[in-house]
């Protein structure tokens, strides 16, 4: 087997193992949350008796490991169980059915932000490395420092104020539903996507710049200059191909943020994504939903890091082309 | 190209006048090159020689009109074939680089971009400056590879830099420099990182190709014997000044300056040979492997070390010299065989050795920079083993540190210095004192002089010999440098690919009859005689 394929498979196996470990941590730490769905729904006045019956109905009186095995066993098959809310009523609502539209919205928003942010930050980073210490570099540097320093809700309100209130170009509230058309969805999600773009672009751009500049002291860069290679080619052909590993890592980190860290932006724009839903589920102690969300977040994070690893491996000629 | 028409041997190609270059250190500009004149004619090879830091690279690069970041050309003129390189625009200079003036760097492994095929880098300038079409440039590169005697010249360019050996890569870099048939090539210590046996081929290939195309060259090195083979004329540099300049043969026959004479001082050092029947260390049939037995690095190694003598272990890089040291010190327990010390078997692993055994075997490393903790003062560095092995504390410890400093010819004032405040030679002396502090019977010296300049090397070797006389300590001296071996050893062990080729007294190993590998190794060591390389090549080709 090619060593790269072997390494990739190893990482993949490791990722699956990590996910299992994380699922145990998620499950057990949620057990430690004070209160429960029953207390929450029945209120302060509920007698211990009714709480007990309620828990029995949800199957919560069984030992934790039994419930874990049942949960993870089903989850592996794509079944995350039923939401507690509704269990007592006539229609059971499956977690997957609740999460799916929300997850779609979140990925939609993340993709919108990523499509703009990743190429733009690479471009800005490469240009900043090429014209390092010029006025361009300084301006980009101070702008990105500013956006890093500003809290995201502040950016969100600022954008809302200019683009929705003052100029009415975009919606200030991003309510979408399953009947919203694709372009309408794009339109409504523009401001939240822009907010997130501004938040992550600075980080990625600075890392791109730093990774490239870091390489400029290498002897092979001096050699390229002394071969008469132009400045832009020195950066693009000689530095960039060796800088992918750290850049990929920071991109993966930021893409993960787009999925798992967007709750503030969702709240500000009232965008029906998964973050807001998870917060609601936690406060109502709707454990199947919380667990499923947490597991999805963990999987996203692990998967993106895996991709970054694969990029690092496949851009390393020593691994890709062994002796 | 216009230059084709007037490629006449003998015209002045490069003329540097009164050049001053400053370098920035600690936020202050200090002169690195202090007013040097240099003239180079077409087709001429000029050797630049001096210790590290003398300014050779800075001057060589100035010949391209290039100053490294942190350096600046303060005054003087650099005239290349009618073009004033100091006043020229960056565009003009970039147009010359690679096409009319090319550079060959010291470490080919570091100077090739790891991400691209060798041939793409070879032809980058030729294609990028529209001198040749891609097809033509590739064909030409293959031709150059052949002329430089690279194996598989038609396909070697399709490999990545890490897939070929150091010597091959160095030749590929020469091909890269040659690809536009420049008027001038700057060779900056191109063989310093290579083994002697590889160096011969690379030197021959470079000299040959420069002659074929009548290219002028500046050949930079710290090795006088190497420059003697390559250059028509030699300039000796020190502290950014020109010490002396003369045609090669003249310079070798009668150097006028003391400093020039001292450059080959090590080669004059000769320790009278002694031996002893008292064997302090007996290595018997030792095998060692890395990576859980996948690659055998030591193969049935048997070596006897007589007390109070210096046994030199020589061989190319990768021959297993340092692994042998690791096996002795217990860092890498042998997979087979025994090592006995003072007649008793040594426990294989470091963890199983008692403190007194540890004390008796000490080690000194090549790089004092990595071996010494930069945050400790000399007092702590030398005091630590005094306390650990001998239980010396407080004033008694200090007194002993000062005594040891005297032994290594440094005065008391060094006791509070940090490694960063000392020169390379001084730091290596501190490493020696730290080893001596344990009052060992055997010291393993692993390439301890390799990173040092010739003059400092000689001082360190003198010191080691003096200490041996005073304390009767035994040295196992690992080196790849035959001149050092000649200077310091009583016995020599020749290693090749993990095996001992030969062990014997210096007088025996260094004189015929030789086993084949010893002969290859010894004959590859450059001699001061400017005809040495030519003679050697003739002899070797006659044999084939
Ligand atoms: N980029 C640089 N910036 C500042 N000082 C430098 C730089 N490069 C070299 N120097 C200093 O210039 C001197 C000469 O260096 P160099 O030309 O590399 O010597 P050599 O090639 O003879 O070893 C040294 O003292 C070194 O510290
Ligand atoms: Mg140098």
DSSP string, A38-71: HHHHH-TT--HHHHHHHHHHHTTTS-HHHHHHHH
CB contact at 8 A, B285 and B336 = yes
Domain B279-511 CATH class label: alpha beta
Residues of A in contact with B105 (CB under 8 A): 219, 222-223
Supply the ipTM of this predicted assembly.
0.81
Give the C-alpha distances (Å, rounded to integers) separating A301 from A84, A308, B84, B307, B391: 27, 11, 58, 63, 55
User: Which residues, in sequence order, are CB contacts of A71 under 8 Å at separation 6+?
Assistant: A27, A80, A81, A288, A291
C-alpha angle A222/A226/A230, rounded to 5°? 90
Q: What is the pLDDT of residues B37-50, one digit of tens each?
A: 999 999 999 999 98
C-alpha angle B356/B426/B456, rounded to 5°? 110
Q: Whose CA is closest to B235, among B377, B417, B52, B50?
A: B50
- Sequence-distant contacts of A168-173: CB under 8 A, at least 24 apart: A172/A269, A173/A269, A173/A270
Residue nearest atom 10 of ligand 1, based on CA coordinates = B23
Residue nearest atom 25 of ligand 1, based on CA coordinates = B53
Q: Whose CA is closest to A26, among A317, A309, A302?
A: A302
Burial tier of B404 (Cβ tally within 10 Å: 0-12, 13-18, 19+): buried
Q: What is the pLDDT of residues A211-269, one digit of tens each?
A: 999 999 899 999 999 999 999 999 999 999 999 999 999 999 999 999 888 888 888 88
Averaged pLDDT for residues B288-311? 87
Q: Which of B97, B113, B114 is opposite residue A318, by nearest beta carbon? A: B114
**Domain spans of chain B?**
11-264, 279-511
Ranges A38-47, A260-269, B344-353: which has the least confidence: A38-47
Assess whether pLDDT exceeds 70 at residue A113.
Answer: yes
Residue nearest atom 27 of ligand 1, based on CA coordinates = B53
Q: Whose CA is closest to A83, among A254, A263, A292, A309?
A: A292
For residue B428, the CA-to-ligand 2 centroid distance in Å is 21
Q: Which of B64, B128, B159 is opposite residue A226, by nearest beta carbon? A: B64
- Cβ–Cβ of A226/B98 closer than 8 Å? yes
Q: What is the pLDDT of residues A298-323, one digit of tens each?
A: 999 999 999 999 898 888 888 888 77
- Cβ–Cβ of B125/A317 closer than 8 Å? no
Is the N-terminal amide bond of B513 cis, ω within 30° of 0?
yes
Residue nearest atom 26 of ligand 1, based on CA coordinates = B53
* Cα distance between residue B404 and residue B436, in whole Å: 8
Give the C-alpha distances (Å, rounded to integers) separating B410 from A146, B262, B433: 55, 22, 10
Nearest ligand atom owner, CA of B48: 1
Averaged pLDDT for residues A85-106? 78
* Cα distance between residue B427 and residue B382, in whole Å: 12
CB contact at 8 A, B402 and B415 = yes
DSSP character at residue B346: P
For residue B104, the CA-to-ligand 2 centroid distance in Å is 12
- Cβ–Cβ of A227/B176 closer than 8 Å? yes
More confident residue, A37 or A144: A144
Inter-chain CB pairs, A–B, below 8 Å? 75
pLDDT, averaged across chain A: 87
Q: Whose CA is closest to B32, among B49, B57, B65, B15?
A: B57
Assess whether pLDDT exceeds 50 at residue B5.
Answer: no
The pLDDT confidence band at residue B95, using thresholds 50, 70 and 90, is very high
Q: Which residues line ligand 1 (CB under 6 A)?
A: B 23-25, 32, 50, 52-58, 68-71
Averaged pLDDT for residues A185-206? 89
Return the CATH superfamily for domain A105-286: MetI-like (1.10.3720.10)
What is the DSSP annotation of B65-115?
T---TTEEEEEEEEEETTEETTTS-HHHHHHHBTTTEEEE-S-HHHHS-TT
- Tally of CA atoms within 13 A in the half-sphere of B215 that contains its CB: 29
- pLDDT of B3: 41
The pLDDT confidence band at residue A156, using thresholds 50, 70 and 90, is confident
In A, minimum Cα distance to B126 occurs at: A227
> Closest ligand 1 atom to the C-alpha of B69?
1
Helix (H, G, I), strand (E, B) or coil at B467: helix
- Cβ–Cβ of A223/B112 closer than 8 Å? yes
Q: What is the pLDDT of residues A56-76, one digit of tens each?
A: 877 778 888 888 888 888 888
Domains B11-264 and B279-511 share a fold: yes
- Cβ–Cβ of B98/A227 closer than 8 Å? yes
Assess whether pLDDT exceeds 70 at residue B265.
Answer: no
Q: How far is CA A190 from the centre of its chain?
A: 18
Q: What is the pLDDT of residues B203-214, one digit of tens each?
A: 998 899 899 999
Residues of A in contact with B129 (CB under 8 A): 228
Strand partners, A82: A94
Q: Residue A100: how many CB atoms within 10 A of its CB?
A: 13
Please name the CATH architecture into which domain B11-264 falls. Answer: 3-Layer(aba) Sandwich (3.40)
- pLDDT of A136: 93
The pLDDT confidence band at residue A182, using thresholds 50, 70 and 90, is confident
* Cα distance between residue A175 and residue B180, in whole Å: 64
* Cα distance between residue A206 and residue A198, in whole Å: 13
- Cβ–Cβ of A242/B107 closer than 8 Å? no
- Residues of chain A in Cβ contact (below 8 Å) with chain B: 218-220, 222-230, 233, 237-238, 241-242, 315, 317-318, 321, 323
Q: Residue B275: how many CB atoms within 10 A of its CB?
A: 14
Q: What is the pLDDT of residues B429-451, one digit of tens each?
A: 999 999 999 999 999 999 998 88
* Cα distance between residue B76 and residue B253, in whole Å: 32
With b meaning 16 or more CB within 10 Å and e meaning fewer, what string describes B520-532? ebbbbbbeeebeb
Question: How many residues does the structure list for chain A?
Answer: 323
Assess whether pLDDT exceeds 80 at residue B240.
Answer: yes
Q: Whose CA is closest to B223, among B12, B536, B525, B533?
A: B525
* Cα distance between residue A263 and residue A277, in whole Å: 9
The pLDDT confidence band at residue B86, using thresholds 50, 70 and 90, is very high
Nearest ligand atom owner, CA of B32: 1
* Cα distance between residue A238 and residue A72, in whole Å: 48
Nearest ligand atom owner, CA of B33: 1
* Cα distance between residue A118 and residue A174, in whole Å: 23
**Domain spans of chain A?**
105-286
- pLDDT of A152: 85
* Cα distance between residue B35 and residue B242, in whole Å: 9
- pLDDT of A42: 75
User: Which residues, in sequence order, are CB contacts of B330 under 8 Å at separation 6+?
Assistant: B346, B347, B348, B349, B350, B351, B352, B353
Q: How far is CA A148 from the centre of its chain?
A: 18
pLDDT, averaged across chain B: 90
Burial tier of B184 (Cβ tally within 10 Å: 0-12, 13-18, 19+): buried
The pLDDT confidence band at residue B2, using thresholds 50, 70 and 90, is very low
Q: Whose CA is closest to B435, among B488, B476, B493?
A: B476
pTM: 0.82
Strand partners, B336: B287
Averaged pLDDT for residues B133-145? 95
> Which two structure tokens, joined as six digits, stand for B512?
């015929």
> Which two structure tokens, joined as six digits, stand for B206?
């470079």
Q: Where do the H-state alpha helices sit in B408-512?
A: 424-437, 454-471, 482-488, 506-509
Strand partners, B282: B304, B340
- pLDDT of B8: 58
Helix (H, G, I), strand (E, B) or coil at B132: coil
DSSP character at residue B413: G
Give the C-alpha distances (Å, rounded to integers) separating A25 from A19, A78, A298: 10, 19, 11
Lookup result for tokens 């009523």: A89
Residues of A in contact with B94 (CB under 8 A): 228, 230
Assess whether pLDDT exceeds 80 at residue A39.
Answer: no
More confident residue, A1 or B471: B471
């Amino acid at each position: 087997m090619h060593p790269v394929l072997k390494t990739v498979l190893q990482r993949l196996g490791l990722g699956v193992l990590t996910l299992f470990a994380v699922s145990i941590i998620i499950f057990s730490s949620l057990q430690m949350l004070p209160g429960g769905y029953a207390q929450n729904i029945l209120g302060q006045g509920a007698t211990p008796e009714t709480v007990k019956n309620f828990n029995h109905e949800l199957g919560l009186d069984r030992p934790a490991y039994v419930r874990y095995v049942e949960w993870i066993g089903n989850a592996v098959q794509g079944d995350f169980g039923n939401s507690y809310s509704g269990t007592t009523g006539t229609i059971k609502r499956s977690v997957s059915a609740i999460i799916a539209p929300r997850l779609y919205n979140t990925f939609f928003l993340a993709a919108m932000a990523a499509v703009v942010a990743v190429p733009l930050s690479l471009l800005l980073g490469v240009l900043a490395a090429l014209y390092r210490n010029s006025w361009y570099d300084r301006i980009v540097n101070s702008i990105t420092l500013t956006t890093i320093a500003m809290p995201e809700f502040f950016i969100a309100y600022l954008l809302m104020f200019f683009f929705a209130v003052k100029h009415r170009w975009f919606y200030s509230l991003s309510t979408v539903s399953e009947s919203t058309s694709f372009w309408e969805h794009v339109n409504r999600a523009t401001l939240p996507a822009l907010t997130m773009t501004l938040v992550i672009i600075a980080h990625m751009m600075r890392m791109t710049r730093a990774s490239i500049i870091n390489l400029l002291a290498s002897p092979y860069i001096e050699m390229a200059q002394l071969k008469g290679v132009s400045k832009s080619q020195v950066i693009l052909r000689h530095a960039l191909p060796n800088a992918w590993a750290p850049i990929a890592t920071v991109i993966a980190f930021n893409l993960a943020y787009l999925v798992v860290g967007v709750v503030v932006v969702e709240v500000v724009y009232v965008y029906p994504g998964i973050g807001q839903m998870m917060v609601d589920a936690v406060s109502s102690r709707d454990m199947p939903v919380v667990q499923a969300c947490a597991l999805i977040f963990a999987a996203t994070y692990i998967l993106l890091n895996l991709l970054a690893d694969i990029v690092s491996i496949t851009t390393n000629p020593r691994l890709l082309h062994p002796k | 190209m216009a230059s084709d028409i007037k490629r006449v041997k003998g015209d002045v190609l490069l003329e540097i006048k009164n050049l001053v270059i400053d370098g920035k250190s600690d936020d202050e500009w200090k002169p690195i090159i202090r007013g040097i004149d240099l003239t180079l004619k077409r087709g001429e090879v000029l050797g630049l020689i001096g210790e590290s830091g003398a300014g050779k690279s800075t001057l060589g690069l100035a010949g391209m009109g290039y100053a490294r970041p942190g350096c600046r050309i303060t005054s003087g003129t650099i005239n290349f074939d009618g073009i004033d390189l100091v006043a020229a625009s960056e565009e003009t200079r970039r147009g010359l680089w690679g096409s009319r003036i090319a550079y060959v760097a010291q470490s080919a492994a570091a100077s090739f971009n790891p991400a691209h095929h060798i041939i793409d880098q070879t032809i980058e300038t030729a294609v990028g400056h529209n001198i040749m079409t891609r097809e033509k440039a590739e064909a030409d590169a293959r031709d150059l590879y052949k002329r430089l005697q690279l194996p598989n010249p038609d396909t070697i360019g399709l490999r990545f830099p890490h897939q070929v050996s150091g010597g091959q890569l160095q030749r590929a870099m020469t091909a890269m420099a040659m690809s536009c048939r420049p008027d001038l090539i700057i060779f900056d210590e191109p063989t310093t990182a290579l083994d002697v046996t590889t160096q011969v081929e690379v030197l021959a290939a470079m000299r040959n190709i420069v002659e074929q195309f009548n290219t002028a060259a500046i050949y930079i090195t710290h090795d006088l014997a190497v420059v003697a083979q390559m250059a028509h004329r030699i300039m000796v540099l020190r502290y950014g000044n020109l010490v002396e300049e003369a045609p090669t043969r003249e310079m070798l026959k009668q150097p006028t300056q003391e400093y020039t004479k001292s450059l080959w001082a090590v080669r004059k050092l000769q320790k009278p040979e002694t031996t002893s029947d008292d064997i302090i260390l007996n290595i018997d049939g030792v095998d060692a492997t890395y990576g859980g037995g996948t690659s055998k690095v030591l193969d049935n190694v048997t070596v006897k070390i007589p007390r109070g003598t210096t046994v030199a272990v020589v061989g190319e890089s990768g021959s297993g010299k340092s692994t042998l040291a690791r096996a002795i010190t217990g860092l890498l327990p042998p997979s087979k065989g025994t090592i006995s010390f003072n007649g008793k078997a040594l426990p294989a692993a470091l963890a199983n050795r008692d403190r007194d055994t540890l004390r008796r075997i000490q080690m000194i490393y090549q790089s004092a920079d990595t071996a010494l903790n930069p945050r400790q003062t000399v007092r702590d560095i030398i005091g630590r083993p005094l306390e650990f092995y001998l239980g010396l504390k407080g004033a008694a410890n200090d007194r002993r540190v000062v005594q040891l400093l005297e032994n290594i010819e440094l005065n008391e004032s060094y006791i509070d210095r940090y490694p960063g405040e000392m020169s390379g030679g001084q730091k290596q002396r501190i490493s020696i004192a730290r080893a001596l502090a344990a009052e060992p019977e055997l010291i393993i010296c692993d390439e301890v002089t390799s990173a040092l300049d010739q003059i400092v090397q000689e001082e360190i070797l003198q010191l080691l010999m003096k200490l041996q006389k005073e304390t009767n300590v035994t040295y196992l001296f690992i080196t790849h440098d035959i001149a050092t071996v000649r200077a310091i050893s009583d016995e020599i062990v020749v290693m090749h690919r993990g095996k001992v080729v030969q062990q014997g007294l210096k007088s025996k190993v260094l004189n015929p009859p030789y086993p084949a590998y010893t002969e290859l190794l010894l004959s590859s060591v450059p001699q001061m005689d400017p005809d040495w390389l030519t003679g050697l090549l003739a002899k070797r080709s006659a044999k084939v």
